[in-house]
Structure 1
Amino acid sequence: MEQIFEQIRDQQRTTWNKFSPGWKKWDELTMDFLKPMGVEIIRLLRLRNDAVVLDVASGTGEPGLSIAAGLSNGKVVLTDLAEDMLKIARENAVERGINNIETVACDVCELPFADDRFDAISCRFGFMFFPDMLMAAKEMFRVLKPGGKIATAVWSVPEKNFWITASMDAINRNMDLPAPPPGAPGMFRCAKTNVMTDLFTQAGFLNVLQEEVTGKMNCGTADVYWEMMNEIAAPVVNALSKADEPLKEKIKNEVFEAVNKRYPSGNVVIAGSALLIYGEK
């Protein structure tokens, strides 16, 4: 792996470990928001009861735990770069009485598994952050059995994801943040048409298809939304760490204004849109 990719990977491992307490705190709300994407991933994979499944970028455990709960004789290996996130996944598994899983902290670009091992692969909201997306896709292809299936989710365009743009638009209006290099990891890196379908095809996958799935972030109030974003959204937290208190307050007020304008009833239920991509080996 190139040195620049290694640096990005190490930085991301540090970031996700740092934010793991926030993800644990907001797990119920965020997993409810992302559930429709996980449900569709599971539907696309059409798993047998004895399937051995790899869940990549598992975070706090989903959709890997739900997949495992539906397998009577199968197993799910949950992987993530951040061990602290996988610790939460293990805790969630114990709480739900799910024992047909194991967790492996590893880099998706260097999966520590033999060729042709898994019947299926799930990956919900990981690809946007992989330093080398093609290498990641090729590694997934390598460990998938012939005839195996993969389904992944990435965020759609900013215009359909107010849950993050409500904060980031206010930040970008008020702060002169450096533009990321083209193709750098980021929330909407995979949103453009055919980015993921072309990537899957290039990695060797067949019968590639793409569809759109939406979810709803049920925050209830602008206060809850703001608190959550400041505890789980790395781009928001990183940007605000460079702002003084008056600027932070100005940005916060603009975010509240945008959210309350969008939801004048006071019931903040923010829609999000994702692209689901499916392929076969």
Structure 2
Amino acid sequence: MEAQMEQIRDQQKETWNKFSPGWRKWDDFTMDFLRPMGDAIIHSLQLNDTDTVLDIAAGTGEPGLTIATIVKNGKVVITDLADGMLDVARDKAAQKGITNYETVLCDVCDLPFDDETFDAVSCRFGFMFFPDMQRAANEMARVLKPGGRIATAVWSTPDKNFWVTATMSTLNKHMQLPAPPPGAPGMFRCGNPGFIADLFRKAGLKNISEQEITGQVKYGDKETYWTFMNDVVAPVVAAMSKAAEAMKQKIRNDVFDLVDQKYPNTAIDYGAIVISAEK
């Protein structure tokens, strides 16, 4: 892997390990929020109960742990780059009595598995953060058995994800944050229709389909929304750490005003795309 790609990967690993306590704290909330995309992935995979499934960039364990309850006579291998996130996944599996799984700490761009190992591959909200997305798609295709299926979810475009842009646009207005380098990891990097489909096509996959999923995140109140963003969303935390107290308060107030204007009940729109394919 090129030095720049390795640097991005190491930064991602550091970031996700740093934020794993926040993800543990908010796990019930985030898993409820992200469940529709996980359910769509599972539906697309057309699983059998004897399948061996790879769940990539699984974070705190989903949709891999849910898949494990479906492939009762099979197995799920749950991977992530951050061991702090996998610690949460293992604790959740123990709480739920799930045993037909294992966790593997690894880089998606260099999967430690033989060719044609898995009946299915899932990846929920991982692609946007991979240093080399085409290499990641190629690796997923490599370890997938002929006839096997793959499904992934990515965030759609910014205009469909006010739950993120309400805060990020306000931060940018007040702090003039530097633009990320072209192609840098980011939430909306894969949001344009056809983007992931093209990666899959180049990886040799076929029968590719896309499904748009929209909904609302129900925060309950603005304070919960603000706390969530500051516990879990890395760019928000990084920017706020550089702001003076008066500026932090100004940003918070402006975000609250913006949310009130569009979503006074604090149920805020999100949009995602689920892309599936076959080898």
Q: Unaligned 5+ residue runs, structure 2?
A: none
- CA–CA distance in 1 between the matches of 2:73 and 2:256? 49
The answer (yes or no) to whether the contact 1:37–1:214 under 8 Å persists in 2 is no
With the length of structure 2 as denominator, give the TM-score of the two structures: 0.98
- CA–CA distance in 2 between the matches of 1:259 and 1:69? 38
The answer (yes or no) to whether the contact 1:154–1:275 under 8 Å persists in 2 is yes
Letter in 2 for 1:2: E
SS at match of 2:8: helix
Matching of residues 120-131 of structure 1 within 5 Å: 120-131=120-131
Match of 2:268 in 1: 270
Match of 1:255 in 2: 255
- CA–CA distance in 2 between the matches of 1:215 and 1:100? 32
1:161-180 CA deviation, whole Å, 9 max, x = no partner? Answer: 01111110100111121111
Letter in 1 for 2:210: Q
Matching of residues 1-281 of structure 1 within 5 Å: 1-264=1-264, 267-281=265-279
- CA–CA distance in 1 between the matches of 2:76 and 2:168? 35
The answer (yes or no) to whether the contact 1:68–1:75 under 8 Å persists in 2 is yes
Instruction: Count the aligned residue pairs.
Output: 279
**Alpha-carbon offset, residue 214 of structure 1:** 2.2
- CA–CA distance in 1 between the matches of 2:165 and 2:76? 34
1:148-190 CA deviation, whole Å, 9 max, x = no partner? Answer: 1000000001111011111101001111211112211101000
The answer (yes or no) to whether the contact 1:33–1:215 under 8 Å persists in 2 is no
Of 243-252 and 106-115, the range deviating more from structure 2: 243-252
Letter in 1 for 2:40: E
**Alpha-carbon offset, residue 271 of structure 1:** 2.3
Letter in 2 for 1:277: I
Of 254-263 and 61-70, the range deviating more from structure 2: 254-263
Q: Unaligned 5+ residue runs, structure 1?
A: none
Letter in 1 for 2:267: V
Letter in 2 for 1:28: D
Compared with structure 1, are the counterparts of its residues 198 and 183 closer, same or farther at alpha carbon in structure 2 (3 Å cutoff)? same
**Alpha-carbon offset, residue 113 of structure 1:** 0.4
Letter in 1 for 2:77: V
Sequence identity (%): 61
Letter in 2 for 1:152: T
- CA–CA distance in 1 between the matches of 2:271 and 2:3? 33
**Alpha-carbon offset, residue 21 of structure 1:** 0.5
Letter in 1 for 2:173: R
Letter in 2 for 1:201: R
**Alpha-carbon offset, residue 263 of structure 1:** 2.5
SS at match of 1:147: strand
The answer (yes or no) to whether the contact 1:37–1:215 under 8 Å persists in 2 is no
